[in-house]
């Protein structure tokens, strides 16, 4: 099946060697897959699933996206901008009260004309509320396209399934044809990106060891969800379903989603001062920490660290002095 795709991102994103970090850590080759440079607003990795989600929504003649997330959600912001660019409306359900000073993510959604609904609900309840809201819109004669958090549907996962072939080509060009020696580390929230990677990995038959660094969901729950999603995604493309042993999860939830620790700040500074790369404290810094620990524990290289974006949160962290004490 050929999935409908609405181009949004500038692809391929660069695969960048991190030589300074390598010599600091005395490790083998370390690469950064620069999905912070997908080029669609500050969507980072979210531009990839949205290409397929918007493609699907347009093909089904939907007229309104319904998305949910925290006020600082990169996915909600990117979905609102993508909806506007593609001529659809967007209704965004935001967990919690309206913030006095909206973060960049929420401001982007507002500037693009999204209808914001602030819900007295936990982030975990939003997927159900998004479905309810879509039902209400249907009763009003609209054609909604409901999106679970992070765009974690089989269609959304196609974005990273296709990214697998992109990375394989770049690794081969960099001289790493022995793909069973490659380690991939990616920060994981909803699991849509990781599920797509697993589906793509099985589809093209590469043996990368893939680590998901879980920042919000308990590893056991996430593992079930990711494998289910990866299987559904593989079914869409008619490729083999990934197996359980393909999935490695590192639990980095720590004190909870979005709670910034000294170790996160340390990893932000490590990426910034060694490579001039800005990572966010919620996702990227935790993946840097995990990658450094893997290398220090003797994990083989080449290692590819997936930079998933998060620029709004990274800048907020940098410009909030009390966060650095």
Ligand X SMILES: *Cc1c(COP(=O)(O)O)cnc(C)c1O
214 binds ligand X (CB under 6 A): no
Listed in sequence order, the residues at least 6 apart from 51 whose beta carbon sits closer than 8 Å to its beta carbon are 5, 6, 7, 8, 9, 159
52 binds ligand X (CB under 6 A): no
Least distance from ligand X to the Cβ atom of residue 110, Å: 19
Residue with tokens 């970090």: 21
**Of 137 and 213, which CB lies nearer to ligand X in the complex structure?**
213
Least distance from ligand X to the Cβ atom of residue 105, Å: 9
Cα separation, 10 vs 306, whole angstroms:
16
Cα separation, 45 vs 73, whole angstroms:
12
75 binds ligand X (CB under 6 A): yes
Please check whether residue 317 is in contact with residue 216, taking contact to mean a CB–CB distance below 8 angstroms: no
Cα separation, 9 vs 45, whole angstroms:
9
Binding-residue pattern over the window 132 to 151 for ligand X, x denoting contact by CB under 6 A: ------------------x-
Q: Which residues of 69-90 are buried (b: 16+ CB within 10 A; e: fewer)?
A: bbbbbbbbbbbbbbbbebebbb
310 binds ligand X (CB under 6 A): yes
308 binds ligand X (CB under 6 A): yes
Burial of residue 118 (number of CB atoms within 10 Å: 0-12, 13-18, 19+) = middle
Least distance from ligand X to the Cβ atom of residue 143, Å: 25
* Number of residues engaging ligand X in binding (CB under 6 A): 19
Residues between 162 and 201 with contacts to ligand X, criterion CB under 6 A: 187-194
Stretch that binds ligand X, among 50-58, 246-254, 263-271, 304-312 (CB under 6 A): 304-312
Neighbours of 220 (CB within 10 A): 10
309 binds ligand X (CB under 6 A): yes
280 binds ligand X (CB under 6 A): yes
317 binds ligand X (CB under 6 A): no
Residues between 22 and 51 with contacts to ligand X, criterion CB under 6 A: 44-46
Query: Footprint of ligand X on this chain (CB under 6 A)?
Result: 44-46, 74-75, 150, 187-194, 280, 283, 308-310
């Amino acid at each position: 099946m050929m999935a409908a795709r609405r181009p949004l991102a500038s692809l391929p994103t660069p695969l960048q060697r991190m030589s300074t970090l390598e010599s600091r850590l005395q490790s083998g080759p370390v690469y950064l897959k620069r999905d912070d440079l997908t080029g669609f607003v500050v969507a980072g990795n979210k531009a990839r699933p949205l290409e397929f989600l918007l493609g699907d929504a347009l093909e089904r003649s939907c007229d309104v996206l319904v998305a949910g997330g925290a006020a600082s959600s990169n996915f909600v912001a990117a979905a609102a901008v993508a909806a506007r660019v593609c001529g659809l409306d967007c209704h965004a359900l935001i967990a919690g009260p309206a913030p006095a000073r909206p973060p960049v993510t929420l401001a982007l959604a507002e500037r693009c004309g999204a209808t914001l609904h602030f819900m007295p609900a936990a982030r975990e309840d939003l997927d159900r509320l998004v479905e309810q809201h879509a039902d209400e819109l249907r009763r009003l004669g609209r054609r909604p396209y409901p999106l679970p958090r992070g765009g974690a549907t089989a269609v959304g996962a196609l974005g990273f399934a296709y990214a697998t072939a992109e990375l394989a080509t770049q690794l081969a060009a960099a001289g790493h044809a022995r793909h069973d020696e490659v380690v991939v580390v990616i920060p994981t929230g909803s699991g849509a990106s990781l599920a797509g990677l697993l589906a793509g990995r099985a589809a093209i038959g590469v043996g990368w060891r893939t680590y998901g660094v879980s920042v919000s969901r308990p590893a056991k729950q996430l593992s079930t969800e990711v494998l289910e999603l990866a299987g559904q995604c593989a079914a869409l493309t008619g490729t083999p379903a990934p197996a359980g042993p393909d999935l490695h999860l590192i639990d980095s939830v720590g004190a909870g989603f979005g709670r910034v620790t000294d170790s996160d700040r340390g990893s932000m500074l490590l990426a910034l001062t060694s490579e001039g790369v800005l990572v966010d404290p919620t996702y990227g810094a935790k993946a840097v920490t995990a990658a450094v620990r893997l290398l220090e524990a003797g994990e083989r290289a080449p290692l590819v660290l997936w930079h998933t974006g998060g620029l709004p949160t990274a800048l907020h962290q940098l410009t909030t002095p009390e966060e650095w004490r």
